[in-house]
Amino acid sequence: MNVVILAAGMGKRMHSRLPKVLHPIAGRPMLARVIDTARQLPGARIIVVIGHQGDQVRDAFSGIAGGADLHWAVQQPQLGTGHAVRQAVPHFDDSERTLVLYGDVPLTRIETLRALSALSAEGSAGTLAILTVAMDDPTGYGRIVRGPDGVRIDAIVEEKDASPAERAIGEVNTGILVAPTAALRDWLSRLSNDNAQREYYLTEVVALANRDGVGVVATQPAFAWETVGVNDKAQLAGLERRFQRNQADALLARGVTLADPARIDVRGTLTCGSDVSIDVGSIFEGDVRLGDGATIGPYVVIRNASVGAGARVEAFCHIDGGVGLDAAGRVEVGAGAVIGPYARLRPGARLGDGVHIGNFVEVKNSALGVGTKANHLSYIGDSSVGAGVNVGAGTITCNYDGANKHRTTIGDDVQIGSDVQLVAPVTVGAGSTVGAGTTVWKDVPPGSLVVNEKTQVARGDWKRPVRKK
């Protein structure tokens, strides 16, 4: 199927230097969401029509962003929707039908497009199938005028040209259609710009199809929001909330407990086991997986990470597995672990079962063994930490020498006191104890006590300073 996606508009009402179709819905550009849906159609040949800031739009889909399967057509100047589709004609395969979509209508479901495509395929020569929608207030939309049988569409009448009876019609045109390609190519060549705007309107193909004896029929989506477009930031925000509510409803249907379905943001893929609980204000980005019985506290951000069964992530934690799906950066939290509140796990953090990471503790590119705890105000970076280790408050791994990163290795059952500095590269052997306030810059043998020599002086003749008046 030829799929034409119109993405050439200026989007003046967005008041932004970013092209309208690149504004995000749930973390992905609107145009990307339309393309994702189109790719689900068998044999989709996708042609994106660009115009205003077209190079910026095309660049957004080059290289790692994906887009090798896309064909690009340029509409310059912009002379209406019919003129835009006409620019895609050189890319058409006449043996396939053609679907027209819009880069600023991002929530149309694949089920709706399949139904529209099937309707167009009826009859030996095919029909012109239009997606329409019923609205309580159709003001500003082109009305669908049906024939006496109530099935065939005789015309699409713009509001300014409609009679009082036609303005009372609640069924309106969405602009999405599927047509026999050879016929569409001919209709596009016959469009007229004899109107106040001197533009070529795609809606005129309805009259041309009727004139040529081609059937014109319609179907409607299951949900009106599937056809809603974005012209300003208010509409963008409205569709964002609609998308998120759809995500929340899907999670609820799978048995996930949401404290408030209106206060969750899924900007990627969220996979949940049974008996998962998510509190308010949490954000999930990229590929996130929550095991059975996992509990996510309020205002948590999780990106590209897995949280094991029975693990608990307390309020205001940030778990960041990096951008994209790089397996090396992905964060792994083991079963029964407790994270936070106010903890930060950075790319490459891998925590074993039962690990405790407390308030204001940061872990980066480090593996922590089963049952290890770092409960207060510590930094663990570029480290391999064994099982059963206790890290005291204020401990840091000094992993950067100003030019290169170095690793710290800590064996099983090590006890590290408060305010310890581990200067990498360094190894602390299993079963060792590091005294409070110690700076460790040499390897520590297993089973050792390591302290820095210290002198404590108490002076009885000392007087506390007094504030001068």
- The residues carrying an active-site annotation are 376
At 35, phi and psi to the nearest 5? -65, -40
**Contact predicate 386/410, CB 8 Å:** yes
Report the chain's terminal Cα–Cα distance, integer Å.
Answer: 87
The DSSP call for residue 142 is P
- Kindly list the distances between the CA atom of residue 308 and the CA atoms of 275, 281, 313, in Å, as whole numbers in the listed order: 13, 21, 10
Helix, strand or coil, per DSSP, at residue 183: helix
| 331 half-sphere exposure, CB direction, 13 A CA radius | 26
- Identify the H or E element spanning 154: strand 153-157
At 440, phi and psi to the nearest 5? -105, 110
Tokens of 347: 């790319």
Give dist(CA 396, CA 392) in Å, integer: 10
Residue 124, classified by CB atoms within 10 Å of its CB into exposed (0-12), middle (13-18) or buried (19+), is exposed
- Kindly list the distances between the CA atom of residue 155 and the CA atoms of 130, 224, 275, 393, in Å, as whole numbers in the listed order: 11, 21, 53, 74
CA–centroid distance for 307 within its chain: 19
Give dist(CA 314, CA 212) in Å, integer: 66
**Contact predicate 286/303, CB 8 Å:** yes
Give dist(CA 318, CA 342) in Å, integer: 8
Q: Is the alpha carbon torsion for 149, 153, 157, 158 positive or negative?
A: positive
Give dist(CA 25, CA 32) in Å, integer: 9
Tokens of 426: 């360094």
